[in-house]
Structures are given as structure tokens and as C-alpha cells.
């Protein structure tokens, strides 16, 4: 069955526009409560990031869950991976995250975690959507849910993050700049890195409800790069608004993306004699990572874009490491979802283990130039059935050979065809991308 509201990463949109409205979130809390109540006794965790609308929506969820007869534990501002961890370790029936991740403050959304600390299965999301079509009711007063606040949530998660690296590793003398994107990690990430011994300069730690992800964090690492150079730091760590993305900056101020970080972690695990199975990336993962992993004897499997699909493939194929170039990195041997702080600690531990800088570690992977163009499309256009497009793709693939890659895919959210070409030489890659984009435009117009 197709779903009306839930996408690959929950429900997300602009605040005040349906379904990101107070009345919908109230009903969603009630619908989710009805489903969770049918699963037996227990409580649901509710956490949020720092955007201003979070106050409004957590109150709506609290009311909806209470009306359904479900007990609620409020976490306040907490990173998404922290909520997943607490859902699992506190044996909650579910965890609810109120966040729009890397989006600006005027967006918001919601996603759910199961008691295992992973995204809800489709069957439960469909059951929640079924209740959304029913009239909202309230249980009798004696059965109303009760609400409490968990006051030590941040401390619990800080200790978990620290425990993801061996206690004998000494980070003293390591100077970091940590950018928390004015988001949910502002009161957590600096403590984690300081408590493992690093010297930390924290930026993006003054959320005001409106400045989350604003010219900072994993999606805008330029300020971090400048601060690393200014302070002569060993590296920089950039998280996004809800803490599930990681981008790093080396000592020269150059950005190190998710693909490069996955390679560094994979090589570390292999050199330590661990069997990691296949690494899982996405259709957009850089070809350079695939080639670098192949030299280590590790296959790269490509899932659809989205950390949900990466997680599903990791589980089915027996892998322990996967993610996306955008910085979603899943270390399944440590936790159950993408976690920016945990992933950063694994990279820092590898620097200490090898005595190498981040710049030296990333040198083991040659990142191929990748050009992505968007072409506006019309409803009903099927690029797989357009002979001209498919012939153009074959021509470029033949020209690139094994040293390049082509990907055409429709956007899941906009009327666009995404044209991606990567290869060894940026000039030729750009020319091929423009050539394919023109072929797509011609086919659509005809």
C-alpha cells in the first residue's frame, strides 16, 4: 500500500502549510498513540531540535498521545540519533523526533523510531495513516496518558557517544573546531569532545529558534573552514540541525565529505582485522570511493538515495558501515542510525591510531569530479522509454568506460530530472553532463 503522508524520512514541510500544522500534529500524535497503545503498556519519547516551531508541535504531540491514553516522556532538544539511542535503551514503545534536519527554521517535520532504535516499518506507518482518516476521540479520564520530563537525557547520550571509542585512546593535544549548526547538538557535542580530552572551540551553539542551519553546520561548512584556519586547528567537525549528518574540514581548510569519511572508517576497521562485509552507499556515492574500497577488497553496494534505504540494505546484506556523501554515516557496530558525533569520534580515533592527520587519511581515496544538473520536466515523462535519452546515456557511458559513471533519475519531490556524470577530468565530465541535459530537454520538448 502506498502512503499518503510518510516519505522516506518521515513527514516534512513548511510550518503552517498542511500537513505541518498544529491540528495535523495533534491528530498524528493521537493516531500514533492509538497504534502504540494497541502494542501493550509503555511510554513514548518525544524530542525535538531547536527550531522555534518545536515548542508548538511538541505540545500538540503531548496532547494527542495523552488523549489516546499513552504515557509520554519529554526530552526537549535532543539530536535525532540521541532519541534513537534513548528509545532503545529506555525500552520505549517508540521515539518521536520533531525536526526538519538540515532544512531552514521555517520548515519542520516528524519521524518515528521503533523500540529497536530504527525507523518504523511500513506496516506501522500505514496503520498510523489509517487512524488519521478516523474521527479523533479521547479515552475516558481514568485512562488518559501521563507526561513526565526526562531530565538526564543529554547526560545519558553524552556517555553513550564517549563509549563508542576505546577508553585508552588519548585525544589530548587535538585542537578541534566544532560547529553545531545552532541545532540539537549545541549542548552535547562540545561536551563529548572535551570529555574525551580534545581542546574544543565551539561555534553554532547559540540557537535562538531562527538560526538553525543558517550559514553554518554540515550544509554550510565555509564558516567552519575559515575558523579552522584562523585557529590553526587540527580539524573541524560540522553537524547539521538534528545531528545525524557529519562533514569535516582538514587542517588546510578543505572539506571532507561523507564518502571520504566512510572510506576512512572502513579502512580503519579492515586494518584492525574486523570483518565489515560490504559497505553500502547510494546511487550518488562517489566512484572514487567505490574504487578505493575495491583496492581494500571491499565491495560497495548502492542503495536508493536516503538513509532509510542504506539501513535496509546494510541489514539485509550483513554490512556494518554505510551512508551518503551528504554526511549521513551509519556505524552499525556502534549504533542503529546515522550519528554525526559517533562517526566523528571514529575518525578521530583513527587519527590517533595511525598518527596521521585528517588530510593524510583522506589521501587514500581519490574523489572523482561529479557534476549534477537539474532539468525541469513535465508530468508523465518516463526517461526509460525515451530512445533519444537512452542513446545519449549509452554514448557517454561508452566514452567514460570504467573510469566514469552516469546517472539519470527523477526527483522524488520536484518536477525535475537529475543528471549526474562523474569521471576523472572535470572539464570533460561537465561537457558530458551538459550534453546529457540537452538530450533530456530535447526529448521532453518533443
307 contacts 349 by C-beta, under 8 angstroms: no
- Rounded to whole angstroms, the Cα distance separating 75 from 73 reads 7
> At 208, is the secondary structure helix, strand, or coil?
coil
- Predicted local confidence at residue 446, as pLDDT: 75
Enclosing H/E stretch for 431: helix 426-445
* pLDDT tens across the length of the chain (446 residues): 678 999 878 999 999 999 999 999 999 999 999 999 988 789 999 999 999 999 999 999 999 999 999 999 999 999 999 999 999 999 999 999 999 999 999 999 999 999 999 999 889 999 999 999 999 999 999 999 999 999 999 999 999 999 999 999 989 999 999 999 999 999 999 999 999 999 999 999 999 999 999 999 999 999 999 999 999 999 999 999 999 999 999 999 999 999 999 999 999 999 999 999 999 999 999 999 999 999 999 999 999 988 889 999 999 999 999 999 999 999 999 999 999 999 999 999 999 999 999 999 999 999 999 999 999 987 777 888 888 899 999 999 999 998 899 999 887 667 889 999 999 999 999 999 999 999 999 888 87
What domains does the chain contain, in order, with CATH numbers? 11-151 (3.40.120.10), 159-362 (3.40.120.10), 370-445 (3.30.310.50)
- Rounded to whole angstroms, the Cα distance separating 34 from 87 reads 18
- Rounded to whole angstroms, the Cα distance separating 357 from 95 reads 38
- Predicted local confidence at residue 412, as pLDDT: 67
Task: Give the relative orientation of helices 22-37 and 53-67 as an angle to the nearest 10 degrees.
Answer: 40
Of 56, 140, 83, 21, residue with least CA distance to 337? 83
DSSP letter string, 305-364: SSHHHHHHHHHHHT-SEEE-TTSBEEETTT-SS--HHHHHHHHHHHHHHHT--HHHHHTT
Q: How far is CA 109 from CA 179, 218, 286, 444, in A?
A: 23, 19, 29, 34
85 contacts 335 by C-beta, under 8 angstroms: yes
φ, ψ of residue 177 in degrees (nearest 5) = -110, 125
φ, ψ of residue 422 in degrees (nearest 5) = -135, 150
Residues forming the active site: 101
β-partners of residue 97 are 47, 111
- Predicted local confidence at residue 9, as pLDDT: 83
- Predicted local confidence at residue 444, as pLDDT: 84
Enclosing H/E stretch for 303: strand 300-303
Amino acid at each position: 500500500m502506498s502512503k499518503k503522508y510518510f516519505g522516506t524520512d518521515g513527514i516534512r514541510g513548511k510550518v503552517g502549510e498542511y500537513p505541518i500544522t498544529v491540528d495535523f500534529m495533534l491528530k498524528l500524535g493521537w493516531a500514533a498513540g492509538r497504534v502504540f497503545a494497541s502494542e501493550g503498556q509503555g511510554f513514548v519519547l518525544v524530542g525535538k531540535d531547536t527550531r522555534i516551531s518545536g515548542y508548538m508541535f511538541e505540545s500538540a504531540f503531548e496532547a494527542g498521545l495523552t488523549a489516546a491514553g499513552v504515557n509520554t516522556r519529554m526530552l526537549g532538544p535532543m539530536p535525532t540519533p540521541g532519541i534513537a539511542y534513548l528509545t532503545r535503551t529506555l525500552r520505549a514503545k517508540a521515539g518521536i523526533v520533531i525536526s526538519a534536519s538540515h532544512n531552514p527554521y521555517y520548515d519542520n517535520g516528524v519521524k518515528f523510531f521503533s523500540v529497536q532504535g530504527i525507523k518504523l516499518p511500513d506496516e506501522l506507518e500505514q496503520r498510523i495513516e489509517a487512524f488519521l482518516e478516523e474521527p479523533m476521540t479521547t479515552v475516558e479520564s481514568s485512562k488518559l496518558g501521563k507526561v513526565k520530563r526526562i531530565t538526564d537525557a543529554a547526560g545519558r547520550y553524552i556517555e553513550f557517544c564517549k563509549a563508542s571509542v576505546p577508553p585508552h585512546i588519548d585525544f589530548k593535544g587535538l585542537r578541534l573546531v566544532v560547529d553545531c549548526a545552532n541545532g540539537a547538538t549545541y549542548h552535547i557535542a562540545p561536551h563529548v569532545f572535551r570529555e574525551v580530552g580534545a581542546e574544543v572551540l565551539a561555534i553554532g551553539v547559540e540557537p535562538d529558534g531562527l538560526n538553525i542551519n543558517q550559514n553554518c553546520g554540515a550544509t554550510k561548512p565555509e564558516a567552519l573552514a575559515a575558523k579552522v584556519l584562523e585557529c590553526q586547528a587540527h580539524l573541524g567537525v560540522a553537524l547539521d540541525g538534528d545531528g545525524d549528518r557529519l562533514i569535516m574540514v582538514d587542517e588546510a581548510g578543505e572539506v571532507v565529505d561523507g564518502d571520504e569519511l566512510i572510506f576512512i572508517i572502513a579502512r580503519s576497521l579492515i586494518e584492525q582485522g574486523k570483518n565489515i562485509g560490504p559497505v553500502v552507499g547510494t546511487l550518488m556515492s562517489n566512484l572514487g570511493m567505490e574504487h578505493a574500497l575495491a583496492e581494500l577488497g571491499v565491495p560497495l553496494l548502492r542503495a536508493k538515495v536516503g538513509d532509510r534505504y542504506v539501513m535496509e540494505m546494510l541489514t539485509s546484506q550483513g554490512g556494518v558501515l554505510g551512508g551518503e556523501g551528504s554526511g549521513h554515516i551509519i556505524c552499525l557496530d556502534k549504533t542503529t542510525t546515522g550519528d554525526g558525533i559517533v562517526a566523528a569520534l571514529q575518525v578521530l580515533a583513527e587519527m590517533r591510531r595511525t598518527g596521521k592527520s585528517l588530510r593524510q587519511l583522506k589521501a587514500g581515496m581519490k574523489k572523482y569530479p561529479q557534476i549534477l544538473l537539474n532539468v525541469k520536466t513535465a508530468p508523465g515523462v518516463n526517461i526509460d522509454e525515451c530512445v533519444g535519452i537512452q542513446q545519449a546515456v549509452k554514448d557517454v557511458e561508452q566514452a567514460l568506460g570504467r573510469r566514469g559513471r552516469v546517472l539519470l533519475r527523477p526527483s522524488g519531490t520536484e518536477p525535475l530530472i537529475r543528471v549526474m556524470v562523474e569521471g576523472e577530468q572535470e572539464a570533460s565530465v561537465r561537457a558530458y553532463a551538459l550534453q546529457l541535459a540537452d538530450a533530456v530537454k530535447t526529448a521532453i520538448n518533443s
